[in-house]
Amino acid sequence: SSYPSFTIRVRPLTCAETRRGDRRVVHSLGDGTVHVSATSPPGTGGLQHSLSCRCPHAQVSSDRHDATFGFSAVFDAGASQEDVFEGSGMRQLVELAIDGFSCTVFAFGQTGSGKTYTLMGPLAQSETQPASSALLGLMQRSFACLLEQSQSRGSDLALSASYLEIYNEQVRDLLSPGPPCTLSLRWSKTRGFYVENQLSVDFENLEAIVGLLLQGAEPRRRRTSAHALNRHSSRSHALLTIHIRSRAGVQSITSPTRVPQPSTCPSKQGTLCFVDLAGSERVKETGSSGELSVEANSINRSLLALGHCISLLAKPRGKRTHIPYRDSKLTRLLARSLGGSGITLMVACISPSSRCLSETLSTLHYACRARRVTTRP
Ligand code: ADP
Ligand code: MG
């Protein structure tokens, strides 16, 4: 299959949306297409503008209020977390990472569209009552799959994790104890872009990696009030990276009976990175105070830079110009995953509500542009 692979997930209408009478304007036709249909209120120019965007995969009907988009997988409101894991190609991505590839999963879309739910599942009911295992997200399912594979390969994989956040163009370590500290993003000829002094924590079992996930997610989820928190987490990008080193070829100290591989065998190093992107909604320019507009600018800048890099990477190799990874911290951090032999799975999260129509169209158009990147493992 070719990459990046594109998946759309349409969440159900929430109770609140149903109560206030929102209509469902997004439908999956069951053939990998998403259909967005709405009658726009008179005098709305914005919608027409979104639809006139050049997207080869969108068929816009003559009345300019309907659009159909085609993707490699579309999950409608009824899809379970397991359906998404199995049907999005996530399992294959885990296997490719074990084979030494740099793999990245992006969840993007407006705030409230289901990015965090898709990646991590819903919040636990309480400390003692964790969320049902059926609701666990792509991350926990991938960890389980990774550890199973590791076990079946005789535990020859060395696993470690790092967890970073980019907020207002500052990189913070979510695993460091105490208040989050800002780290420097550097570049060297040998390593490319890297984060100086970031913590990387070894783990060997599911409890340990899920513990790291919760530890990192905690400051984002619980910092102050629930409202402020949601605002914070939707204004920052979070990147959890699993580093997978194959111990094959290295004589193991713990199992001296093991036949050593020839030393010429390179030790493979793959990565599996989960990116929960900041909400893509356009923050209104007017009325945003100092702090808000700095946030909005940082988000717009990095999402634009990401979209820009991705659309340039979509060009055939021979025709590629310079890829401007340097335009944002996000694209610098992801330079290796996006280019070269990197493998990408994009999950566009969408609300079905009529109130989100214009953001939904903008998410789908963003996805369409990015969809034209092709790299093969
Ligand atoms: P985001 O991270 O994009 O801001 P969330 O993942 O926090 O959005 O989802 C917003 C709300 O919708 C949450 O209450 C979440 O539990 C709910 N939700 C999202 N996706 C689904 C889904 N597929 N099924 C049921 N509820 C969902
Ligand atoms: Mg979120």
pLDDT single digits (tens) 266-316: 557 899 999 999 988 865 544 455 666 777 778 878 888 888 887 777 667
CATH classification of the domain holding 360: 3.40.850.10
Q: What is the mean pLDDT of the chain?
A: 79
Tell me if residue 101 falls in helix, strand or coil. coil
Classify residue 190: in a domain, yes or no.
Answer: yes
Three-state secondary structure call for residue 160: strand
| Low-confidence winner among 78-92, 112-126, 279-293, 311-325 (lowest mean pLDDT) | 279-293
pLDDT digits (tens, 9 = 90+) for 184-234: 999 998 888 999 999 999 999 999 999 999 888 876 654 444 555 566 677
Residue 196, domain extent: 157-175+184-218+237-246
Mark the residues whose beta carbon lies below 5 A from ion ligand 2. Answer: 115-116
Tell me, using a 6 A CB cutoff, whether residue 349 lines ligand 1: yes
Q: Decide if 169 is inside a domain.
A: yes
- 19 and 104 co-located in one domain: yes
Find all residues with CB under 8 Å of 209, minimum gap 6, and list them: 143, 147, 159, 161, 203, 242
User: What's the CA gap between 304 and 280, in Å, rounded?
Assistant: 10
Which residues lie below 8 Å from residue 221, measured CB to CB, with a gap of 6+?
123, 229, 233
Q: Do residue 115 and residue 210 come from a single domain?
A: no
| pLDDT at 161 (0 to 100) | 97
CB atoms within 10 A of CB 26: 25
Domains: count for the chain: 2
Q: What is the mean pLDDT of residues 323-331?
A: 91
- Give the pLDDT score at 307: 81
pLDDT classification of 48: cutoffs 50, 70, 90: very low
**Joined tokens for residue 223:** 């910092």
Give DSSP secondary structure letters for 314-353.
TS-GGG-----GGG-HHHHHTHHHHSTT-EEEEEEEE--B
On whether both 98 and 169 belong to a single domain, the answer is no
Helix (H) or strand (E) holding 208: helix 206-222
In 3-state terms, what secondary structure has residue 182?
A: strand
pLDDT at 367: 83
The DSSP code for 19 is H
- 33 and 109 inside one domain: yes
Mean of the pLDDT values across residues 349-360?
Answer: 92
Determine, yes or no, domain membership for 66.
yes
Nearest ligand, CA 111: 1
Residues 29 and 168 occupy one common structural domain: no
Which of 246, 263, 293 is a domain's end point? 246
Question: Are 107 and 20 members of one domain?
Answer: yes
Mean pLDDT value across residues 65-85: 85
Q: Based on the fold, state whether residues 32 and 105 are members of the same structural domain.
A: yes
Residues in the chain: 377
Residues 6, 147: one domain? yes
Distance 114 CA to ligand 1 centre (A): 4
Question: Does the bond joining 4 to the residue before it have cis omega, within 30 degrees of 0?
Answer: yes
> What is the C-alpha separation between 58 and 52, in angstroms, rounded?
10
Confidence band for 66, pLDDT divided at 50, 70 and 90: low
Average pLDDT over residues 167-193: 88
Let me know if residue 276 belongs to a domain.
no
Nearest ligand, measured from the Cα of 75: 1
* 107 CA to centre of ligand 2 in angstroms: 9
Q: Are residues 102 and 191 in the same domain?
A: no
Q: How far is the CA of 117 from the centre of ligand 1 (A)?
A: 5
135: amino acid identity, one letter? L
- CB of 56 within 6 A of ligand 1: the answer is no
110 has binding-site annotation: yes
Residue 284 domain flag: no
Give whichever of 195-199, 217-221, 248-252, 320-324 has the largest mean pLDDT: 195-199
Better pLDDT: 321 or 11: 11
Q: Find the 317 Cα to ligand 2 centroid distance in Å.
A: 34
Q: Are residues 111 and 16 in the same domain?
A: yes
**Annotated binding-site residue? 43:** no
Q: Is 183 helix (H, G, I), strand (E, B) or coil?
A: strand
Closest to 271 (Cα-Cα) out of 169, 367, 341:
341
Q: For residues 185 and 71, which has the higher predicted lDDT (pLDDT)?
A: 185
The answer to whether 49 touches 365, Cβ cutoff 8 Å, is no
Q: Supply the pLDDT for residue 56.
A: 44
User: Distance between CA atoms of 325 and 336, rounded to whole angstroms?
Assistant: 10
Inform me whether the pLDDT recorded for 74 exceeds 80.
yes
> Would residue 107 count as lying in a domain?
yes
Which residues are CB-contacts of 372 (< 8 A; sequence separation ≥ 6)?
A: 56, 311, 314
In a domain, 56, yes or no: no
The 3-state DSSP class for residue 78 equals coil
Whether 46 has a binding-site annotation, put simply, is no
pLDDT score for 239? 95
In a domain, 192, yes or no: yes
Residues 105 and 162 in one domain: no
Q: Does 115 belong to an annotated binding site? A: yes
Averaged pLDDT for residues 18-25: 92
Quick one: 92 and 35 in the same domain? yes
